Structure 1
Amino acid sequence: MSSKMIGEWVSVAACVLIVGIAWGSLDLGPEPGPPNTDNLIEILNWNWKRDRSGNVLAVFGTVRNNTPETYGRVTLELRTEDEDKTVLARHAIEVGGVLAGAEKPFREDIPRTGSEAMGFLEVKRLGR
């Protein structure tokens, strides 16, 4: 191989390397995730109270269906955390028969860990 051919191959390899690096650094935008259920079903209010024994939390509140469709099952998730923001538990709360454009109350008893400092409730799944 002549030195001219070697120079051409080195140039081609350098171009391929530069194009590869540039291609990898392109921002292709966020990856599509699950459909946003926040706008479809809205948690209007919720709270929790301990029972007399202190072993059970009664979680209750109201959700609103902001769509023209009826959902047979709405799954909420309660995530409890301690003072250090360590997740203690996740609990599924099923709300059945949420009519189109309507509000629906819910209530669920969940076992306590004894050190819940805060809780977060969000819509996880919608079922027809």
Structure 2
Amino acid sequence: MLVNIFKSKIHRVKVTQAELNYVGSITIDEDLLDAAGIKENEKVQIVNNHNGERLETYAIKGKRGSGIICLNGAAARKAQPGDVVIIISYAWMTQEEAANHKPVVVFPDENNRVVK
């Protein structure tokens, strides 16, 4: 049996843009994607700490080092620039894999940069 397990998250980043006239997704600084182990086009859950909204979409790479967090398309209605969000990824694992799995949690600074 497979279980859907919390794989990684980018904890408390600020939304920098919301682009309604876009096909969809969330643009995330490539440094943040790498740090969290989130692949381009991977399904992610977005949790908005300001208004309680939750949504699922897919990640696309933003310019490395830019700090960009941009909700695109319909997702742009769920957050505004300045909102603090959590970006979560999950993975399907066997019971054995899940027993040994350690999620990756990234805590960016106030400019959405990876803190080492």
> TM-score scaled to structure 2, two decimals?
0.37
Q: Which has the higher contact order (CA 8 A, sep 6+)?
A: 2
